[in-house]
Structures are given as structure tokens and as C-alpha cells.
């Protein structure tokens, strides 16, 4: 069998032979004249040598043949001519000999060049042979690589097919999981609706029985008209009794029920009513008439901890101190040391700038939306709080503090606000007049304040949480009590407070790297949250409760976000890899869909459970 490349090998050999023949012809033509000249010179040299010898021997032979040589010897002129001719012949012979030597030398040089070229030709032949062998090896390697590539392509196609199958199975499982979650949510909603309907029926039956009992005791038998009037009067009195009993239920008790229905005018109750479309048969109270503008937003009943980051970007020119979601969970506000408050829309898992609020002469320390979402209150290091109307009207400044304002909060109403400052005072404000209506001196620097229907709660640097009476159901102003009604002492100074939507639990963050969950009904600590690696980054680190009060969340000094289970106090999840600086604040939307965290590195991260 003919070896691969045999034809090509024969072709290049023939090509080399042709090139050598061509070179011989060229060199033979170049040296042909030289050889002919050299041969002519040799012939002339031989001829001159014979002529010289003949001339030298000819006089002697002539003298021997002629007896009268003495009388017939050549004259001086003849000898001179012969000698001159001999000299010319010798000179000509020398030149020819020199030319012959030069030509011989050139011939020798050409022979040397020919030898060198022959050696180079041999080297090139060896190199060509090596390249031929290398090419053969590369062709064999190419064949092997093509086979290996075909095997890899087959394996890749097989793995790709398996991957598609796994992704399809994963998608089916996720769909099944969502369906199961939706089914469970619908069942829980139906159970809650059934339970509420049952409670409504029981309540209606109770009122009917009370009215009938009252009618039996008070209706006289003097006539149908008097009986009807008496029934109407008793019916109105019974309704008044029901209203008074409802108001009594709203007053604080030592053993207060955990039912969310007994929370008065809190935002969480309104959200639950809208969520399940419940219609309580209750006449509006004075406070509810005053705040009839309030339209509660939807609140997530069951929250899940976030899993992944949807958006991560530096959004301020300096470190960020505060973040807060709007009541409708569609907007989020951030503020920091660059003296601005920025409002962002959440669209497609991204933060899009909507509005920039300016006017503060110091860094922003806290932010809060009013329940309608149309106003924003921010505390500032310039010794004042700033109220912005988001509908475009001019902003107002609440001035009067002599130190940095660390927190500013609405008091469950559009018209009241509370601020705390480093000048060791708490001020309550009438937002209609932008005037201070109450100044409370305190014994320690106040770091944060929150408000409920019943209390105004403050966290201090002397390690104490103080409760002041702030009942929103009192018709008088200021409230009845001017003194602290309760204190809770912790291990270290408090950095932030967060109250649950049902107003039964309070979460505090302190400098001993711990979070404490406090029962507002009993005033005792329910849970203490700690974790390896969690460290409170600064004196204004803010921790929060989830909308359903099932989880507690806070950011650490190393950029990690920790999430604890509020029932078991165990670490549920930690989120890291996005923040490289200390996390100052976190916010959880009321819908439960998003969490936003901000840090000292000017970065904000949007988290979600999906």
C-alpha cells in the first residue's frame, strides 16, 4: 500500500533534480569562457616555450651546418631585435601566467562556493525531511483530536439534554410548589374568613339577645305606640353600651388578649380588614372620624425571608443612614450623609429614581412616611426635622432642638409627630402649625423613638427603654399622664427600636451585639437574638421586624444581614456577598415582597425571596 504523501515526495525530489540541473547549466555557461581563455593561454605558453627553445638552439645548429659561420654571423642589430622579441615574449608569457593564476584562483573560489552550496542543499534536504516527518505527526495528531472532539461533542449533547430535562423538572416542581403555596394561602384565607363570619354571627346573636332581654325588662303593656318608642330607646341605649364596651376593650389591661381584632385603630387591623374584606359593625369613634382619610394598605400575613439580591448599586454620594418603604410598598426612600432624601420606584426588580428631596443642612438620620404615603418626615443632624409634601407643596422644618435630631416619627396621625435629639429632649409637634406643643426633658441621650396607640416608646443610651402614655383615644390634649409609666433595662445602650404591625411586640437593637424582642402587654423580654459574626456597626444601626412579626432582621458591621425566627430565636438565614461595608439600616415592605439594605459604602441592595 502506498504510503500517504508518496506522490508529493516524488514531486519534490524531481523538483530538486531539476533545480540542480538548471544550476549546473548556469554555472557551466558562466565558466565556459574562463576555461576557453585558460586553454588558449596554456597553448600560447607552450608555443612560446617551444619557440624560445627553438630560438636558443637555432644559432648553434646554424653554426654547425655552415663552415663559414664566422664570416656569416648575425650582426648586432639582428641580435638586438631577437633579444627584444624574446623580452617581449617573456613579458607576454608572464602576463599570461598571471592571468592563468588569477583564473585558477577564481576557479578554486567557485569550487568552494559550489561545495558550500552543496552542503547547504544537503542541510535543506535534511530540514525538509524533518518538516515532512513533523507534518506527518501533526496530521496524525489532527486525526486524533478530531476523534476526541467528536467524543466530547457527543458527551456535551448528552449533558445538554440531561440539563434540559432537569430544568424542566425543576420548573414543574416550582410550579407545583407555587400552586401548593397558593392553595394553602387560599385555605388559610377561607378559614380566617369563616372564623370571622362565625365571630360576626356570634356577635350579632349576642347583641340580639341583649336587645331582646332589655326589651323584655323595659317594655310596658300600655299600648303599641309606647311599646315601639320604648323599644327604640332601649335599642339606642344598647348600641351606646356596645360602643362603650368596645372603647373599654381598647384600654390597656394587664392580661391583654393577643387577638388582632382588639388592636383599636392600628394600621395592621385596617390592613387585615381590607385583606379579607371584613365589615365590622361598629360606629366610628371620634379619633376615627378625625382620621377618616386613612386608607390602609395591604399587609403580608405570612412573610418569607429574602434569598437573593435583585439590585445592588451605589445611590448616594456618601454613606446612607436610613431607609423606609412607603405604605403601598411601591416606593422606598433613602437618606444619608449627603443631606438629601431620594425616593425610588421599584419596577422590574430595579430601583428607579423618582424624586430628590433637598433642604436639610445636615445628614439624614431617620425617615418615615405618614400612613397615607403623601408626606415624609426626616430627622437631620442640623438640629431639626423636615416634613416634605410629596404632592409638590413646600416643605416645612421643625426647629427647636439644640442638638442633632436622631429620630422623627408620626404619632398615628397626619397632624402629630415626635422627635428626639441629643440635647436630651423629646418634642411633640403640631404639623398643621409646624409648632412644638410639648417638650419632655429626659435624663439620657435618646437614640430612637416609636409610637403606638397607647405608648410613646423611647430607647436611650443609659440602656433603658421608657414607655410614656400616648393614648390616641383620649379627647384631651396633651395626654393624661406626663410621666414614664414603664421601663425596661437592657445590657447595653440602645441603637434602634421597631414596633410590630400588631403593636404587641417591640424589637430593640443594642451595642452588646444583641436584639431583644419585648412583649408590650407584659413588658418583659420574650427572645434575645444573637449570632456568631453579628456585630452592631454603629450607634444608629437599625433592626426591624417583618410585617407579620415572624422574623427579626439586622445588618452587621462586616456587611452580612442576619435574619432570626421570632418564635424560636434561631438564626433563619444570613445574606452576604453584596455589602462590603457596615450595614446601617434595613427595611421590609408591608407587602412582604422586598427588603432594602443600605450601608456606609453608599450602596443599596434590593432583596427578594424569589
User: Which domains, from first to last, does the chain contain?
Assistant: 11-58+83-188 (no CATH), 308-608 (2.130.10.10)
Cβ neighbours, 10 Å, residue 583: 30
For residue 226, the surrounding DSSP H or E stretch is: helix 224-250
- pLDDT exceeds 50 at position 296: no
In the three-class reduction of DSSP (H, G, I as helix; E, B as strand; rest coil), residue 430 is classed as: strand
| Nearest C-alpha neighbor of 562 from the set 534, 594, 541, 598 | 534
Query: Degrees (nearest 5) of the Cα angle 498, 419, 447?
Result: 55
Q: How many helices (H) and strands (E) does the chain have?
A: 5, 28
Cβ neighbours, 10 Å, residue 477: 10
Query: Degrees (nearest 5) of the Cα angle 457, 462, 468?
Result: 20
- pLDDT exceeds 50 at position 268: no
| Nearest C-alpha neighbor of 537 from the set 518, 513, 520 | 513
Residues 444, 461 contacting (CB under 8 angstroms): yes
User: Across residues 94-107, what is the average pLDDT?
Assistant: 82
Task: Output the nine-digit C-alpha cell for 443.
Answer: 435624663
Residues 443, 417 contacting (CB under 8 angstroms): no
pLDDT of residue 76: 62
Looking up cell 450595614, which residue turns up? 583
- pLDDT exceeds 50 at position 286: no
Question: What is the band of 3 on the pLDDT scale with cuts at 50, 70, 90?
Answer: low
Residues 566, 552 contacting (CB under 8 angstroms): yes
Which of 176-190, 276-290, 345-359, 540-554 shows the lowest per-residue confidence on average (mean pLDDT)? 276-290
pLDDT of residue 398: 92
Answer whether 0.85 is exceeded by the pTM: no
pLDDT of residue 315: 93
pLDDT of residue 267: 42
Residues 535, 556 contacting (CB under 8 angstroms): yes
478 preceded by a cis bond (ω within 30 of 0): yes
Question: What is the band of 409 on the pLDDT scale with cuts at 50, 70, 90?
Answer: very high
Question: What is the band of 28 on the pLDDT scale with cuts at 50, 70, 90?
Answer: confident
The percent of residues above 70 in pLDDT, for the chain, comes to 78
pLDDT of residue 93: 75
Contact residues for 533 (Cβ-Cβ < 8 A; gap 6+): 556, 558, 560, 562, 574
Amino acid at each position: 500500500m502506498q504510503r500517504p504523501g508518496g506522490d508529493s515526495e516524488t514531486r519534490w525530489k524531481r523538483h530538486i533534480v531539476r533545480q540542480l540541473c538548471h544550476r549546473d547549466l548556469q554555472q557551466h555557461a558562466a565558466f565556459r569562457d574562463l576555461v576557453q581563455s585558460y586553454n588558449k593561454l596554456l597553448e600560447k605558453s607552450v608555443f612560446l616555450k617551444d619557440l624560445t627553445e627553438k630560438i636558443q638552439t637555432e644559432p648553434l645548429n646554424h653554426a654547425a651546418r655552415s663552415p663559414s659561420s664566422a664570416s656569416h654571423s648575425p650582426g648586432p642589430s639582428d641580435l638586438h631585435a631577437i633579444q627584444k622579441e624574446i623580452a617581449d615574449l617573456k613579458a607576454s608569457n608572464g602576463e599570461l601566467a598571471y592571468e592563468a593564476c588569477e583564473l585558477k584562483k577564481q576557479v578554486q573560489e567557485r569550487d568552494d562556493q559550489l561545495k558550500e552550496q552543496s552542503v547547504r542543499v544537503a542541510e535543506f534536504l535534511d530540514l525538509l525531511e524533518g518538516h515532512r516527518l513533523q507534518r506527518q505527526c501533526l496530521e496524525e495528531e489532527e486525526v486524533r483530536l478530531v476523534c476526541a472532539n467528536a467524543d466530547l461533542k457527543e458527551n456535551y449533547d448528552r449533558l445538554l439534554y440531561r440539563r434540559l430535562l432537569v430544568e424542566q423538572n425543576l420548573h414543574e416542581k416550582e410550579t407545583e410548589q407555587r400552586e401548593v403555596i397558593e392553595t394553602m394561602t387560599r385555605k388559610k384565607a377561607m378559614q380566617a374568613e369563616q372564623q370571622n363570619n362565625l365571630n360576626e354571627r356570634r356577635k350579632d346573636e349576642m347583641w340580639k339577645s341583649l336587645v331582646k332581654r332589655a326589651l323584655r325588662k323595659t317594655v310596658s303593656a300600655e299600648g303599641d305606640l309606647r311599646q315601639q318608642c320604648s323599644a327604640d330607646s332601649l335599642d339606642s341605649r344598647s348600641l351606646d353600651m356596645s360602643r362603650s364596651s368596645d372603647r373599654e376593650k381598647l384600654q390597656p389591661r394587664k392580661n391583654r388578649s393577643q387577638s388582632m381584632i382588639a388592636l383599636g385603630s392600628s394600621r395592621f387591623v385596617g390592613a387585615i380588614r381590607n385583606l379579607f374584606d371584613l365589615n365590622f359593625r361598629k360606629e366610628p369613634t371620634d379619633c376615627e372620624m378625625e382620621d377618616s382619610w386613612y386608607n390602609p394598605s395591604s399587609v403580608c400575613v405570612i412573610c418569607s425571608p429574602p434569598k437573593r439580591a435583585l439590585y445592588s448599586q451605589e445611590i448616594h454620594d456618601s454613606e446612607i443612614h436610613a431607609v423606609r418603604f412607603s405604605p403601598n410598598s411601591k416606593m422606598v426612600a433613602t437618606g444619608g450623609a449627603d443631606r438629601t432624601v431620594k425616593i425610588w420606584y421599584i419596577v422590574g426588580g430595579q430601583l428607579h429614581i423618582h424624586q430628590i428631596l433637598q433642604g436639610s443642612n445636615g445628614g439624614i438620620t431617620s425617615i418615615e412616611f405618614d400612613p397615607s404615603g403623601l408626606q415624609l418626615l426626616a430627622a437631620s443632624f442640623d438640629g431639626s426635622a423636615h416634613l416634605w409634601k410629596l404632592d409638590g407643596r413646600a416643605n416645612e422644618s421643625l426647629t427647636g432642638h439644640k442638638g442633632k435630631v436622631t429620630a422623627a416619627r408620626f404619632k398615628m396621625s397626619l397632624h402629630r409627630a415626635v422627635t428626639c435629639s441629643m440635647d436630651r429632649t423629646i418634642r411633640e409637634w403640631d404639623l398643621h402649625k409646624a409648632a412644638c406643643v410639648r417638650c419632655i426633658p429626659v435624663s439620657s441621650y435618646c437614640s430612637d423613638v416609636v409610637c403606638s396607640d397607647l405608648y410613646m416608646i423611647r430607647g436611650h443610651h443609659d440602656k433603658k427603654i421608657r414607655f410614656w402614655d400616648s393614648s390616641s383615644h383620649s379627647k384631651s390634649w396633651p395626654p393624661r399622664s406626663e410621666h414614664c409609666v414603664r421601663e425596661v433595662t437592657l445590657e447595653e445602650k440602645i441603637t434602634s427600636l421597631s414596633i410590630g404591625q400588631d403593636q404587641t411586640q417591640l424589637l430593640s437593637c443594642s451595642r452588646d451585639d444583641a436584639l431583644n424582642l419585648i412583649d408590650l402587654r407584659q413588658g418583659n423580654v420574650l427572645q434575645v437574638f444573637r449570632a456568631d459574626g453579628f456585630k452592631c456597626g454603629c450607634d444608629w444601626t437599625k433592626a426591624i421586624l417583618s410585617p407579620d412579626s415572624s422574623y427579626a432582621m439586622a445588618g452587621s458591621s462586616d456587611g452580612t444581614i442576619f435574619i432570626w425566627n421570632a418564635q424560636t430565636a434561631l438564626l433563619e438565614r444570613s445574606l452576604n456577598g453584596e455589602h462590603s461595608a457596615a450595614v446601617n439600616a434595613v427595611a421590609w415592605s408591608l407587602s412582604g415582597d422586598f427588603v432594602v439594605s443600605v450601608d456606609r459604602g453608599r450602596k443599596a441592595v434590593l432583596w427578594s425571596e424569589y
